[in-house]
Amino acid sequence: MKKTIIYLVRHAESEYNRDSIISGHNNPNLTDKGIDQASKAKTELEHVKFDEIYSSDLTRARHTAEVISNEKVPKDHQLFELRERNFGALESQPGHKLDKARQRPDVLKMSAQELYHHRYAEGFETDHEVAERMFNELTRLARNNLGRTILVVSHGSSIRSFITKIVGPENSDLTFGSIKNTGYVKLSYQNNKFYVDKVAFN
């Protein structure tokens, strides 16, 4: 049975990452440091031949994918479904506001399943909601690329939610911010199932 190999990578440092601002669906550019990070990721992955390249439709992800692959991401491979979480009312806010929301006494008492479905602010996509759109899109890409190796550049919170769905909320120790810029996970997709082959999040 053919399988698809997916390198799912978080974008390099953006201007909002540098300034500790919650990005979400905002569209900041990469910093000079971010471009350097992407270049180092290119070197780390130079042994991999990518048959196709995909990214979210946000500049920081597309630019990272283009540096790593040394190719342009086709317009129809820049996908809304691979975007970062919509942080709702927390978008464009200082990062510490999300930290504060996560440290509320009622939130600290929640189970892993409750946190998976928790909405931290008005308009905030839950882990479950993000995971479902990521899972559906990555499944589509995997099925369309059986027998091939693909590069997919997305966003930290989206990748974290997707991995949490695969392993189960109660088995995941990934927290907000645990996937560093250009961190990645190597996945394989076979027999309608995703497998985690390698994790390099730091």
Give the residue-averaged pLDDT of 164-183. 85
Q: What is the pLDDT of residue 147?
A: 97
DSSP at 50: -
Q: What is the pLDDT of residue 140?
A: 98
Contact 187, 194 (CB under 8 A): yes
Tally of CA atoms within 13 A in the half-sphere of 167 that contains its CB: 15
1 — pLDDT class (breaks 50, 70, 90): confident
110-130 tens-digit pLDDT: 999 999 999 999 999 999 999
Residue 96 has pLDDT above 80, yes or no: yes
39 — pLDDT class (breaks 50, 70, 90): very high
Give me the phi and psi of 134, to 5 degrees please. Answer: -65, -45
Give the torsion sign (CA, 34, 14, 61, 95): positive
- The reported pTM is 0.96
All domains in the chain, ordered by first residue: 4-200 (3.40.50.1240)
Contact 152, 141 (CB under 8 A): yes
Residue 175 has pLDDT above 90, yes or no: no
Q: Which has the closest alpha carbon to 70: 92, 99, 48, 85?
A: 48
Contact 48, 148 (CB under 8 A): no
